Amino acid sequence: MGAVCGCCTDPVDFDGEVDLYHFDLHRAVGKGAFGKVRVVEHKKSKQLYALKYIDKAKCIKQKAVANIIQERRLLEEIDHPFIVNLRYAFQDDENCFFVLDLMLGGDLRFHLERKGRIEEGVVRFWLAELAEALNYLRKQRIIHRDLKPDNILLDAAGHAHITDFNVAIHYSERRLHTSVAGSMAYMAPEVVGRKGYTWCVDWWSLGVVMWELLFHRRPFDGRTAEKMTNSILKDPLKLPSNANDICSPECQDFVRGLLDRNPKTRLGCRSRGQGIEDIHNHPWMASIDWDQLRKKDIQPPFVPDMKKANFDVSHELDEFMMVEKPLTHSKRKANPDLEKMKPELRQMEEQFTVYDFVKNSRVSYYPHNQTIVTSINQDEDEPNTVLQSATNTLLPTATLIDRASAGSPLPELDRSHPQPMTVSNPSESRRSASRRSSPSSRPSQSAERPPRASS
């Protein structure tokens, strides 16, 4: 039978389905489009986690139900030391909840803005960990599609983790995807050029992240979607004039390899899983002991200052100032009538299922029994077949794009703040769900309705 927690509360049945009553709620550490992220403590294990909660009404209003269910399903498939993993999922009448690994070290955007740029040795360590995570996602047939400093979180020890799978999808090498999703400044040429793409786009995004960490600017500029697209597709890759003072020739070669416009020759992207060997064997990575790295046995070269908050401390003020309703434990209505529910509420009720990592083994929603035929890393004279994206998931298209204001005459620091913009067919638009699946440096850009892109 369940145990009693606290002298004035009802007994909590830890043998029953997980719900919010299994957790004590602590401080808010992040804010997203539909809710917040707060630190929670499991009452029985005393383990701390990050709780991301999604307001169902806001989610329905912004037509993001498919995104939330998509993220919930993908996270159930993932378990990796350099990814923010799902531990529990459940819902009540008002919210859907993700309980995730707690990352109190802040995101890389937070640290980049405070340090100006990141030292080469630190960047190498983070890139090695992130490369392992991307190689794992490739094996899981998952494309993240929104890799950027904001979505890379540090734990208290300084290890890097990928988070926010809101626009992630499964890929099939039988079909190249054509939907546009993510943050434009980090999109690969094959995405913005609508040529069809697969998992190789994440390695390009990793290259943009690496460039930004090293030089505190992005490699491609543009004040409009059209100019940014043209820059990504055509502008020559020019290292800053002081690049030799900042990083080694091996480092420069590595970032150039990631920012190869041809996905067939891009660093990390050789077919049949051979690409990771190019990462492991690159001269810039010669000092990395990959076995020790995977075990997290290497001391990170940068350790966050845990005496300070590594995120925006203003998130709690909204509740104190009564700007929004605080999150509280609430009992569910007994035996809800699914037939009388709005279709979206019913969809969440049926498809945002309970997950408990202690009781449930991880499963894959990827459709098996398909013959996989390589359609991107093939011989030059063999044409690619580009078909409309068929993801076999709940998210047919996603069009959330953050347009960087990079390239403007503004100070370098201001160029780190992307301005949100939605493109593509409005009827296909999917709003991003919570932009944080763990503590964040600042509120989500996507919490506000973005301006429509001009055609």
Enzyme catalytic residues: 146
∠ Cα 248 251 257 (to 5°): 145
Do 202 and 147 touch, CB atoms closer than 8 A?
yes
Cα separation, 262 vs 237, in Å, equals 13
Both tokens assigned to 196: 């069809």
For the chain, the first-to-last Cα distance in angstroms comes to: 61
Phi-psi region of 194 (alpha: psi -120 to 50; beta: other; left: phi over 0): left
3-state secondary structure labels for all residues of the chain: CCECCCCCCCCECCCCCCCHHHEEEEEEEEECCCCEEEEEEECCCCCEEEEEEEEHHHHHHCCCHHHHHHHHHHHHHCCCCCECCEEEEEECCCEEEEEECCCCCCEHHHHHHHHCCCCHHHHHHHHHHHHHHHHHHHHCCEECCCCCHHHEEECCCCCEEECCCCCCEECECCECECCCCCCHHHCCHHHHCCCCECCCHHHHHHHHHHHHHHHCCCCCCCCCHHHHHHHHHHCCCCCCCCHHHHCCHHHHHHHHHHCCCCCCCCCCCCCCCCHHHHHHHCHHHCCCCHHHHHCCCCCCCCCCCCCCCCCCHHHHHHHHCCCCCCCCCCCCCCCCCHHHCCHHHHHHHHHCCCEECCCCCCCCCCCCCCCCCCCCCCCCCCCCCCCCCCCCCCCCCCCEEEECCCCCCCCHHHHHCCEEEECCCHHHCCCCCCCCCCCCCCCCHHHCCCCECCC
Cα separation, 42 vs 45, in Å, equals 6
Residue 58: closest CA among 451, 447, 452, 450: 447
Is there a binding annotation on residue 52?
Answer: yes
∠ Cα 174 278 147 (to 5°): 65
- Residue list for the binding site for ATP: 52
